Structure 1
Amino acid sequence: MTFNSSFVSKLAGWGLLVVLGLNLRPILSSISPLLGEIRQATGLSFQSSALLTSLPVVCMGLVALVGVRVEARLGERRGIALGLMMILLACLARWLMGQGSALLATALLGGAGVALIQALVPAMIKREFQQRVPVAMGVYSASLMAGGGLAALLSPLVASHFQQWQAGLGIWLLPALAAWLLWVFLPLGAARSSKVMPTFKGLRNRRAWLLALYFGLVNCGYMSLVAWLPAYYQQLGWGVLPSGSLLAFMTIFQVIAALLMPVLAQRGIDRRPLLGIALLAQTVGYLGLLLAPLELTHLWVALCGFGLGACFALSLLLTLDHHRDPRQAGQLAAFVQGIGFLINAVSPWMTGWLRELTGHFTSAWWVLTVTAVAMLMVTRVFSPATYRTAAVAG
């Protein structure tokens, strides 16, 4: 009986991790395939439209930076429950309202909900999956990316079925509601702790800043591609559904990488070889989009997806490696995500600005290519021998 209860508890833990991840990207990726209709209906410019992707990411960054206080005040259970409710309400508002200002407001609301969850999950993974941290991080990352891909694929289909683009954005209240109900009745997180946490000293630690900048730059291509890849191919003559399906195709390889690479990482402690492979895949993918976008299109998109999926999971894992204590590791991960997502928020806005300035996306893909190459060179700094000496005091 004890064995069965333990097995059910572990199964519920993995299942909740998947459900949480699935709800963290539809608020972003449902926008891109419907961007043409949204702009036509609301009159938003390219730069203003980019805010629909950038604002949630800004929220992710700002809320993550106060993640320690959030945990102290709310605890994981209430914090994650609140985050899911905010996502649900944002999606409901998108279905009911069609003004540009309302969409921007829901981007803030939904982004804050996503941020709450993302700030609390890494420490939970470090504590609840102590012997399987790389695998758990892979499952969480893969679920997160799968949710983004499903939203990119299904949102235009739902909008077409209801003959209303708002429905394609609002339908994602249903998985948010399901996740909220599961979380309330089967909470994985610990209750609020009365233990006083020491002040986080990451602001004065160079390794914390390096990890944060690295996380932001190796992952910034995801936000640009989610926001603009369909628009890029629509400019090249593709239709709404085929261009939107490219994001879903990219997600397949993100999920594969997010699952496979952390499993491989479980075998050792040096993350640099796998991060090098991931950044090389990104570089080749961006160059393909630049130099031969209509030839081997799916290969370039697959390489981008594989590289981005691996980088997200591995860069978070690299951060958690710097502390054995789950709460201290969670503090560092919150800081890294906070700064990193603020960097990510600039990426889709910059891409939209360059598109409006030049009339095409070529310059933006060049920026992403150079960034990936630069981070490939920075990767060599993260030797496991430096983890403890450079560890950030919690």
Structure 2
Amino acid sequence: MRDEDLQTLSRPATPSGSPGRPATSPAAGPTWLGPVLVVGIVLAALNLRPAITSLGALFEEARTGLHMSGTVAGLITSVPALCFAVFGVTAPRLSRRFGPAAVVCAGMAAVAAGLLIRPFADGAAAFLAASALSLAGIALTNVLLPVIVKRWFPDRVGTMTGLYSMALAAGTSLAAATTVPLTSALGGDWRTGLLVWAVLAVAAVLPWLPVVAASRPEKAAAPAAVREDAGPSVVRSRTAWALACYFGLQATGAYVTMGWLPQIFRDAGVSASTAGVLLAVTMVMGVPLAFVIPGLAGRMRHQGPIAAVLGVFGLVGYLGLHLAPAAGAWAWALLLGVSNCAFPLVITMIGLRAKSPAGVVKLSAFAQSTGYLISIPGPLVIGTLYQHTGGWDLPLALMAGLLVPQIVLGVLAGRDRTIEDECGMRD
């Protein structure tokens, strides 16, 4: 389904007195609304991962400073996916009641508040609670950004999804690469290094304030399909399940890569510093491709071929890590970086597999919440296999094996159909 087709399928109802103009299109509102929305979307996306990757860069210092036990430290590393799953489920109800823009604004405020509070925590419990607050805001925004794109930019789903996917990848890489140098430049205190990222989160709240104010009149006139939970549940849709499982498997691969790739290289004889650079290369690959892939996917009726190609890149990367991890390290890092771009693809498909903003919010919440639940055991299982076998042969074989159902599910999710058609939901 092409982007231009989506404009007709998902155009919101027109309020009386404004014939032919969509109520939720930026063109129908103030002239500043479109540009401010774009800025808000980009800033929100930039803040969807620094709360996680900045802590990863300083985790040893934070663990020592807060006297965390090994159990608590393990819990904190598992909290992001759990929060994304649990809080993401609440997004549709909150969106229906307050509007998606208001919920994203509140989500960004929660991210900022958590990042402001977290560095001043004097114990592991308070630190965990502040982290959970930020992660709750991220979870809501994760689910609702595709809805914002579908609702306000129905004729540019691929382009806008690419823009915020690129910003998300950039924020992830930026926090991972600069947190330690920033901490050193600011005196070496890990608390200061974490606090820096609250500034970016506060900035992300600002553009959403006028958007929320401008969207209040339209919310009152929004169609029933947007305001109400119409029609059967998405759990009856095979496409929804394919998207959820595809989301879960790609998230598993991404978390394993972020958590274990440097160790794989180090065990192969690569220096610690080079292993860190190789991980950065893998993550940076997502910045340009996160913009290119959604635009390409939005112009295709069937996105399955893209899912298959990304999966093949991952298979070659894992095979290379098995056969020659050190000799071909740069090539394997690049290949896995391309493979991990399944994330912007699945986010784009969420916007394409529903006709209306109401359908997108339900599908996004279901696919992301279910997918993140699926991804939780992955890094733990890989770590356990590594510990018990003393090597990477079995863990790499498992990761390569998981790419096979991921490819199959991506092909199924990429078919040109919608959840409304499958479930008999009202548009």
Instruction: Calculate the TM-score normalised by the size of structure 2.
Output: 0.81
Counterpart for residue 111 of structure 1: 135
CA distance in 1, matches of 2:213, 2:384: 42
CA distance in 2, matches of 1:187, 1:235: 51
User: Counterparts in 2 of 1:235-314, with a 5 A limit?
Assistant: 242-309=274-341, 311-314=342-345
Change (3 A) 1:377 1:104: same
Structure 2, unmatched stretches of 5+, are 1-25, 221-226
Query: Percent identity between the aligned chains?
Result: 28
CA distance in 2, matches of 1:354, 1:189: 53
Counterpart for residue 316 of structure 1: 347
Change (3 A) 1:167 1:352: farther
8 A contact 2:166–2:286 mirrored in 1? yes
CA distance in 2, matches of 1:234, 1:159: 25
CA distance in 2, matches of 1:347, 1:255: 24
Indicate the SS of the match to 1:327. Answer: helix
Change (3 A) 1:178 1:206: same
CA distance in 1, matches of 2:277, 2:56: 11
Indicate the SS of the match to 2:58. Answer: helix
- The size of the alignment, in residue pairs, is 391
CA distance in 1, matches of 2:62, 2:325: 25
8 A contact 1:97–1:166 mirrored in 2? no
Q: Give how far 1:50 is off.
A: 4.4
The answer as to 2:359 corresponding to 1:334 is no
Q: Give how far 1:391 is off.
A: 5.2
Change (3 A) 1:327 1:138: same
RMSD of aligned C-alpha atoms?
A: 3.0
Q: Give how far 1:278 is off.
A: 1.2
CA distance in 1, matches of 2:137, 2:345: 24
User: Counterparts in 2 of 1:22-101, with a 5 A limit?
Assistant: 22-42=46-66, 44=68, 48-97=72-121, 99-101=123-125
Q: Give how far 1:232 is off.
A: 4.5
Amino acid of the structure 1 residue aligned with 2:96? A
The answer as to 2:193 corresponding to 1:168 is yes
Residues 55-75 of structure 1: per-residue CA shift (max 9 Å, x gap): 122111122222211112332
Does 259-268 or 109-118 show the bigger shift? 259-268
Amino acid of the structure 2 residue aligned with 1:160? S
8 A contact 2:101–2:148 mirrored in 1? no
Indicate the SS of the match to 2:425. Answer: coil
8 A contact 1:22–1:148 mirrored in 2? yes
CA distance in 1, matches of 2:214, 2:424: 24
Counterpart for residue 405 of structure 2: 374
Change (3 A) 1:304 1:355: same
Alignment equivalent of 2:228, drawn from 196, 215, 223: 196
Instruction: Calculate the TM-score normalised by the size of structure 1.
Output: 0.87
Does 21-30 or 176-185 show the bigger shift? 176-185
Structure index of larger Rg = 2
Q: Give how far 1:178 is off.
A: 0.8
Counterpart for residue 345 of structure 1: 376
Change (3 A) 1:93 1:20: same
8 A contact 2:83–2:135 mirrored in 1? yes
CA distance in 2, matches of 1:190, 1:6: 10
Amino acid of the structure 2 residue aligned with 1:274? I
CA distance in 2, matches of 1:119, 1:361: 34
Q: Give how far 1:20 is off.
A: 0.8
The answer as to 2:273 corresponding to 1:207 is no
Change (3 A) 1:283 1:51: farther
Indicate the SS of the match to 2:327. Answer: coil
Amino acid of the structure 1 residue aligned with 2:373? L
Change (3 A) 1:106 1:305: farther
8 A contact 2:146–2:350 mirrored in 1? no
Counterpart for residue 12 of structure 1: 36
Counterpart for residue 228 of structure 1: 260
CA distance in 1, matches of 2:128, 2:308: 37
CA distance in 1, matches of 2:123, 2:269: 28
CA distance in 2, matches of 1:188, 1:307: 40
The answer as to 2:243 corresponding to 1:218 is no
CA distance in 2, matches of 1:89, 1:79: 15
8 A contact 1:215–1:315 mirrored in 2? yes
CA distance in 2, matches of 1:333, 1:69: 13
Change (3 A) 1:91 1:244: farther
Amino acid of the structure 1 residue aligned with 2:307? L
Counterpart for residue 390 of structure 1: 422
Amino acid of the structure 1 residue aligned with 2:180? P
Counterpart for residue 19 of structure 2: none
CA distance in 1, matches of 2:237, 2:296: 30
Amino acid of the structure 2 residue aligned with 1:111? L
Q: Give how far 1:16 is off.
A: 1.8
8 A contact 1:323–1:391 mirrored in 2? no
CA distance in 2, matches of 1:99, 1:240: 30
8 A contact 2:239–2:412 mirrored in 1? no
